[in-house]
Amino acid sequence: MTHRVAPEWVIVAGGFHDHGAMDRANAALAAHLLRQGVRVHLVGHEIDDRFRRDAYAQCYDVPRPVSAAPIAESLLSRRGLSVAVRVTAACPEARVVVNGGNCPWPDINWVHAVHAAWPVCDEGAPAWVKVKHRAVKALARRQERAALRTARLVIANSRSTERFIVAAGLARPSAVHTVYLGSDSSWARPRAGERTAARAALNLSQNDRVVAFVGTLGFDLNKGFDLLWGAWTRLTSDGGWDARLLVAGGGGRLPFWRRAAERAGAADRVQFVGHTSRVREVLAAADLLVSPVRYEAYGLNVQEALCRGTGVMVTADAGIVERFGNELRECVLPPNVTSEALANALRAWAHDVEGWKVRAASTAARLQSRTWDDMASEIVAHAADATGDPAPGMNPLHVNRR
């Protein structure tokens, strides 16, 4: 069924580029709409140059002060509201897409994470960081509740995200729909010689067994690197563990983890790449991606690893697990996994490295067959169905005056 696409769209997001999960998804939606000849207004902190070159795109850059996330979010919200008011006044049919609590506009809210379900986990952080984390989380939850309760349509990136939204009373069940993320052909199994080149570029031996971690290494331990490090030190202290650990991610705690590797005498078996745009290369070089997350609405890094032909190990309640076939049961870690349990899982993987990759192939093929255009088309279809009055409780003009 063909749905009529509104002639203009506004998308308010942190960024529109290929270097982050949410930003990549928002960029994919924008690109899809532009290919349909729709005029798209992009409001964000980081906007890829390809959108600036498109005659149908209007880009609105919003400053992002360093180490001042609440200020950056406030600036994004205000600019988003301003653009949405102006565009919808000139074109009443225009649709507005916001992400979670980043802008309280009563149309389409595309939720990539639910703060109400995302606990603060910052053991070991300085006291002032803990105070900051809790203040920022409280603010994010208030903004999330205000924005979602007024949305005409809520798009969730997984069934678990949808359940969290409804259970927390953030939106009417009838207004929430799950749309899984897409993929593209560049995230495919490495071509002949690509894996060899990736390992050479990363100073890895062609014979090494390589375990990768892709995620932020901040004072927030949500991504679970502390669990992986605990498992890694157990394995190395037992003797006989000769795998290499490849860590891609930046953040305030990166220097701490580098020093921890040196103290443990493991610096020669652990490589910290830092924040990088070379994730595709990292996954080509790896045999296994480990993602022991405490909360993960979806998990695009896991999807990309599978599409690259890499084995994966991920916590059960990550949204991506909903899309796994039964053959991937052994790669799913229990909720609240411990370092000891993770070490045991890594030992099991080490005995069957290639088998894990083979068993992941069918799920990987299914994930890769769903394109970013498929995802965007579903969002457009839900938007076409969600017409009429927005949810009660907010007048967009009143929002703009706040």
How does residue 1 score in pLDDT terms, banded at 50, 70 and 90?
Answer: low
In a domain, 1, yes or no: no
Same domain, 260 and 385: no
Q: Which domain holds residue 374?
A: 8-182+370-400
Residues of the chain by 3-state class (helix, strand, coil), percent to 5: 45, 15, 40
pLDDT(168) > 70: yes
Say if CB 165 and CB 111 are below 8 A apart: yes
Which residues does residue 244 pair with via DSSP β-bridges, in sequence order? 210
Q: How many CB atoms lie within 10 A of CB 389?
A: 7
d(CA 155, CA 142) in angstroms, rounded, equals 19
> How is 314-347 classified by DSSP, letter by letter?
EETTSGGGGG--GGGGGGEEPTT--HHHHHHHHH
d(CA 329, CA 196) in angstroms, rounded, equals 29
- Most distant pair of Cα atoms in the chain: their distance: 69
* Per-residue pLDDT tens digits for 113-140: 999 998 898 888 899 989 989 999 999 9
Return the CATH number at 123: 3.40.50.2000
d(CA 77, CA 80) in angstroms, rounded, equals 5
Using CB atoms within 10 Å of the CB of residue 157, give its burial: 0 to 12 exposed, 13 to 18 middle, 19+ buried.
buried
In a domain, 252, yes or no: yes
* Per-residue pLDDT tens digits for 204-231: 999 999 999 999 999 989 999 999 999 9
Provide the whole-model pTM: 0.92
Same domain, 28 and 177: yes
Same domain, 81 and 155: yes
Say if CB 6 and CB 383 are below 8 A apart: yes
d(CA 71, CA 52) in angstroms, rounded, equals 25
